[in-house]
Amino acid sequence: MLDVVKSRNIWFVASGIIIAAALLMAIFFGLNPGIDFRGGSLSEIKFEQQSPETSQIHEKIAGLDLGAVNIQKTDRGSYIIRSHELNQEQHGALKDKLTADFGNLNELKYESIGPTISGEVTRRAFYQLILVSLGILAYIAWAFRRVPRPLSSWWFGAAAIIALVHDLLIVIGVFALLGKLAQVEIDALFVTALLTVLGFSVHDTIIVFDRIRENLKKLTGETFSGVVSRSINQTLVRSINTSTTVVFVLVALLLFGGESIRYFVLALLIGVAVGTYSSIFIASPLLYVFHRKKLS
């Protein structure tokens, strides 16, 4: 049996080092805001003869040094191309390149656009994330209210929130590093990925916690450390199998899903892997730490 509680200090130190590195990268490098945060230029075009895939357009204009470009195909058969603010020369080069590769085109609209995610919206999203975390804490405390004393249901909620923050900080730190080294930009999809990771992490943690609660009633003669380790082992295969199936899908999307969702999928992939790890090696051992401090 894998005794996670006994080796808890190894996992705590490893996570502490990773979290410290993630925080340093986030502080010193910062996240590289994309078009959704900074605004830029919007062009709507329609080709007269061809109807290429958005991935083909991305491939053809990659050498124009336009930075991150977001391309969406509309129901009318036109394409909306959003990029950083383009000067006249860059705008002309973009149209010339598309014409040379895909034939004549009509530019239906060209304008400068503001950020779709303003500073105010970002601040509100941050506050909402705090409120959601408090809501999760309160809900888990209520759901586990019947755990036997001296355990407190609030410990379950606190451990889940700590694991959640652990996961989000690692994802943010990785993207801060990618922004510095590879100029990877964050957009609305990155925010969506963080919220998805939040839900996955809490879900996986609650599965382990629920088994701990059940075993506390069944294994009355066993120590709390033994109950936690046994519960982790009983849910370990399920957690790994569930996460593995998700990882397979995400890897396929990462390889074949196209440029527009690549970093969204990468954020999910990192979050799912870290969330599975934290639910087993961080959240559950934290319960034991809280329990031991209560008894000391």
Supply the pLDDT for residue 118.
60
Pick from 1-5, 140-144, 244-248 the range whose average pLDDT is largest: 244-248
Give the distance, in angstroms, between the CA of residue 277 and the centroid of all CA atoms in the same chain.
14
Question: Strand ranges (DSSP E) for 79-184?
Answer: 79-83, 105-113
Question: Does 41 have pLDDT greater than 80?
Answer: yes
The answer to whether 60 and 101 have CB atoms below 8 angstroms apart is yes
Per-residue CA distances from 74 to 53, 78, 117, 129, 269 (Å): 12, 5, 21, 32, 29
Which of 72, 65, 55, 8 lies closest to 229, judged by CA? 8
Average pLDDT score over residue span 248-261: 85
Question: Does 117 have pLDDT greater than 70?
Answer: no
Question: Does 58 have pLDDT greater than 90?
Answer: no
78: Cβ contacts below 8 Å, ≥ 6 apart = 44, 45, 46, 108
235: Cβ contacts below 8 Å, ≥ 6 apart = 207, 208, 211
Supply the pLDDT for residue 277.
93
Which of 205, 229, 239 lies closest to 285, judged by CA? 229
**How far is it, in rounded angstroms, from Cα 98 to Cα 107?**
11
Question: Does 68 have pLDDT greater than 80?
Answer: no
Query: If you average pLDDT over every residue of the chain, what do you get?
Result: 85
Average pLDDT score over residue span 103-124: 75
Walk me through the domains of the chain, giving residue ranges and CATH numbers.
8-34+118-295 (1.20.1640.10), 40-113 (3.30.70.3400)
